[in-house]
Structure 1
Amino acid sequence: MAANTATPRERYRTQVRAEIKQHAWEQIATTGASALSLNAIAKQMGMSGPALYRYYASRDELITELIRDAYRSLADTIQAAAASGADLRALAYTLRAWALEDPQRYLLIYGTPVPGYHAPDDITLISGETMAVLLDASAALPGERPATPFDAHLEEHRHWAAGNPAPATVLHRALSFWTRVHGVLSLELAGHFTGMGFDPAQLFAAELDDLLNSPPNWTTS
């Protein structure tokens, strides 16, 4: 085991930053990310506002850290599942389990954007790691799907695939998976199915069946 070379001051700083993030998550669960207040967190921790700003210089810096942690956690989870042999269906359930484990974490990155906040480029790269796994899993599906006009559009607009050489039909598969899975999850976690009387887990399974088994999405032959 590698020795911890951090100084006591560095360890204390890491500990305080982690505590600040925990308070931030609690505040987000209560009031939402757009109302996140460093001064309120400082008060909870018995610190002055200026003292807390030595750890996070701004609200956006703290939000960036939370978003980066969330995307990193998701990417690591999806990559680990894929490395264990998960196919696209299993990856969908991995994503759902991750989302249900901490809905506020999921909604921070896939819910309503925080007004006035702009994520740095490195977060886009981390989120792209998850899409790369989904693209590979989509490419591994058997059978072919007839090309559509949108596929032709994707041939000219594929920068989001980060150089993945998959044909446009595979890009379309991955996008269909991504949008429909997140659509169901976002509605469920935001409470929009409450009172409708059906089991969201059953809807999620039905959507996967439709995506993976039924034309015109793609067919097995």
Structure 2
Amino acid sequence: MPAEVKSPRARYREQTRAEIKAAALQQVAEGGATALALTRIAKEMGLSGPALYRYFAGRDDLLNELIRDAYDDLAQAIVRVGTSTVGTPRTALHALADACLDWATAEPHRYLLIQGTPVPGYAAPPDTLERARAALGPFLTVFAAGDPVDAYRPTVDEMAVWLRQDGAVADWVAAHTDRPAHEAAAATALAGAVVAWSQLHGTVSLAVSGQYEGMGHRPRTLLTGQMDALADGFRLT
């Protein structure tokens, strides 16, 4: 099917929106999300305030787009590694964790947009949940091969209940593991992915926000040890 041919007006609108987002990201990089000011962006671009609002309804609308883009880029970085990694589940786990750390340290201001609340009172749009799950999906594949030690059994049991209660989560897990929700491997995969995501973002968030500076270690060294310990906890080969 031939690609849709966009009108000059549509192309101009897309280009202008992209330029607005680029200017917004520059502001965020320089001063954090609270520094985002649409009036300043309009002035820099030679637009009037009302003209800019034809492209974004307000600050939160612009933030929504920046957050969606950040989630999509992070997911692409992780999925790209997940689909190209060969070897054992343990090797794949390390590759996925490294991909997240690499992206976050290269794009710290964008990473911080998707962790926590970027500005007081802001609520992310509901569709960011699906974007976050896209980034987490490859971890499900890794842990589907796991055999958790006793310490992780309570978490696996709780994930099994979640799978029975939430059809959307069950479908998401099945799509990445080829295992129906009632099988133990599905709950194991979900438990491993959630624990990995928790440990990963704990370390990455502290690294990106500069909390490890002066502590005498590299975040990647810490992350490698955490992922190895987690792989041991799920008996990944």
TM-score range normalised by the length of the shorter chain: 0.7 to 0.9
Worse-matched range after superposition: 45-54 or 31-40 = 31-40
Partner of 2:149: 145
- Give 1:161's aligned residue: 169
The reply to whether residue 117 of structure 1 matches residue 122 of structure 2 is yes
Distance 1:68 1:23 in 2: 16
Identity of aligned residues (%): 43
Deviation at 1:193, TM superposition (A): 0.7
SS at structure 2 position matched to 1:89:
helix
Q: 1:177 aligns with which of 184, 192, 196?
A: 196
Q: Which amino acid aligns with 2:149?
A: R
Alpha-carbon displacement from aligned partner over 1:18-59 (angstroms, at most 9, x marks no partner): 111011111111222133211111112121111111111111
Highest RCO, 1 vs 2 (Cα 8 Å, sep ≥ 6): 2
Q: CA deviation at 1:94?
A: 1.4
Q: Report the CA distance shift for 1:144/1:195 in structure 2 as closer, same or farther (over 3 A).
A: closer
- For 2:19, give the aligned amino acid: E
Verify the 8 A CA contact 2:117 2:123 in the aligned structure 1. no
Distance in 2, Cα, partners of 1:109 & 1:195:
26
Hey, what does 2:52 align to over in structure 1? 52
Partner of 2:105: 100
The TM-score normalised by the length of structure 1 is 0.88
Contact 2:37 2:59 in 1 (8 A): yes
Deviation at 1:7, TM superposition (A): 1.6
Residue 112 of structure 1: how far off its partner (Å): 4.0
What is the CA RMSD across the aligned residues, in angstroms?
2.3
Structure 1 residues 144 and 153: CA distance shift in structure 2, 3 A: closer
Q: Hey, what's the Cα distance between the residues in 2 that align with 1:73 and 1:162?
A: 25
1:162–1:54 Cα change, 3 Å: farther
The 1:36–1:162 alpha-carbon spacing in structure 2 relative to 1, beyond 3 Å, is farther
Would you say how many aligned residue pairs link Structure 1 and Structure 2?
217
Residue 74 of structure 1 aligns with which residue? 74
Letter in 2 for 1:46: G
**TM-score for the superposition, normalised by structure 2:** 0.82
* Local SS of the residue matching 2:119: coil
Call closer, same or farther: CA 1:162–1:107 in 2, change over 3 Å. farther
Determine if contact 2:143/2:188 at 8 Å carries over to the other structure: no
Q: Give the deviation of 1:61 after TM superposition.
A: 0.9
Greater share of residues in helix: 2
Ranges in structure 1 where 5+ consecutive residues have no aligned partner: none
- Partner SS for 2:110: helix
